[in-house]
Amino acid sequence: MNRVLVIILSVVMAGCTGGKQSTNELMVVDVTKRYPKKELILQDFFDVEYIVLETNDEFVTNGFIKYIGKDIIVATNTGMLGDIHIFDRNGKGLRKINRRGQGPEEYTSTSHLIVDEDENEMAIVCIFQQKVLIYDLYGNFKRRFDHNILENGMKVHGYLGNFDRDHFICQMNDGDMVNGVYTGYRNNFFIISKKDGSIAEEIYIPFHEKKFDSVVAPDGSRPFSAYPSSRRLIPYRNNWIVNDISSDTIYCVMPDYSLVPFIARTPPIQSIHTEVYLYPGVLTSRYCFMQTVKREYNFSTNTGWPRIDLVYDRQENEIFEYVVYNDDFLNKRPVKLSAEISNLTYPFQSNDISFFSAIEAFELVDAYKEGQLKGKLKEIAAGLDAEDNRVIMIAKYKK
């Protein structure tokens, strides 16, 4: 079975990078099985670069990186502050933009920001105002379109990405909750126009019954749900992986909008009493990093969503529970490669960059004082102040 899996995944991964895809082969992951453990070193399969973001009175940022391109880096503060910082590719501050407000050309939050450097544009998804606003990279307003892009009021969930020059790919919300029950929709993913938000293509993902990755407070005393906060729209090189948890198959969307099967999960989602979801994370030509999440949550302790990190190793034809360590830390600092929104690792849409991650300056200062760093990272930490902006770690695909 494992020998077959490496051939299957090789074909599927080739399909997501422009190769041909067999119609009846795909990778299979048993989400209920326990796998052997494996330790990996980040630098063995990525070229790692560090960027120090300039810190001064104007350029103080939480370092939520939204974009790393040929010439610029775009970062924001906490979404409600409205600051957008533009740095050059070496981390030198170029300009700060803030168009926060209630006006027709203003946003209320920068939590969801997408950059199209080729078109000199950035899009901000304003969930509370239910609109998407487009600015140039100097903060000049260009256009806007409504957040409710379907007649039934279905809204952009905030996960928006560049699909091609003229279109975004977006994830819609699951639906509205009425008396603890969702009124859901068939599909979550759409291709929409960057010009006016009109639908170019609805991505049809087949499934038997609609599922929702949320847990509602059982006694009704808390009128909200808990979510696992895992990404369902994942970039891989210049393509996108779409994950509707109602389906047992995770797909790659091709440039012509067709779907290529990427991963199949087993047992079927409909057959498990306590559902276990599978979310892809960082992807490479050799490794497919994933995470299982069990649908359990305790509202009394605000804890739950037990997770297991998995990796499929094409070279060894095996699936493992993994830990990845950054070799620039002598004390084995782990790096999360999952699709959790809460961590500081972000899979990136690029043929060169796989993901980027933020490291707190004070953590590096402490590690330097304790003699726990080496190489370029040690040199960087020697010149840092604990109050400086975060240092950005960029993981590039090895040539």
- Could you write out the DSSP letters of every residue in 139-163? S-EEEEEESB-STT--BEEEEEEE-
User: Helix 375-382 crosses helix 361-369 at what angle (to 10 degrees)?
Assistant: 100
CATH 3.30.465.10 is the classification of domain 64-204: no
Query: Among residues 255, 240, 237, which one has the least CA distance to residue 351?
Result: 237
User: 260-291 as b/e, with b when 16 or more CB fall inside 10 Å?
Assistant: bbbbbbeeebeeeeebbbbbbbbbbbbbbbbb
Q: Tens digit of pLDDT per residue, the chain (399 long)?
A: 343 334 444 445 555 654 333 334 578 999 999 999 999 999 999 999 999 999 988 888 776 888 999 899 999 887 578 899 999 999 999 999 999 998 999 998 887 899 999 999 999 988 777 789 999 999 999 999 876 655 455 555 557 899 999 999 988 766 555 555 555 555 779 999 999 888 899 898 988 888 888 887 777 655 567 888 888 999 988 889 999 999 999 999 999 999 999 999 999 998 988 899 999 999 998 999 999 999 999 888 889 999 999 999 988 889 999 999 999 999 989 999 988 877 667 788 888 999 998 899 999 999 999 999 999 999 999 999 999 999 999 999 998
pTM: 0.87
Classify the C-alpha dihedral 27-30-35-38 as positive or negative: positive
Q: Show me where the domains of the chain are located.
A: 1-60+258-399, 64-204
Classify the C-alpha dihedral 241-352-45-86 as positive or negative: negative
Find all residues with CB under 8 Å of 30, minimum gap 6, and list them. 265, 266, 267
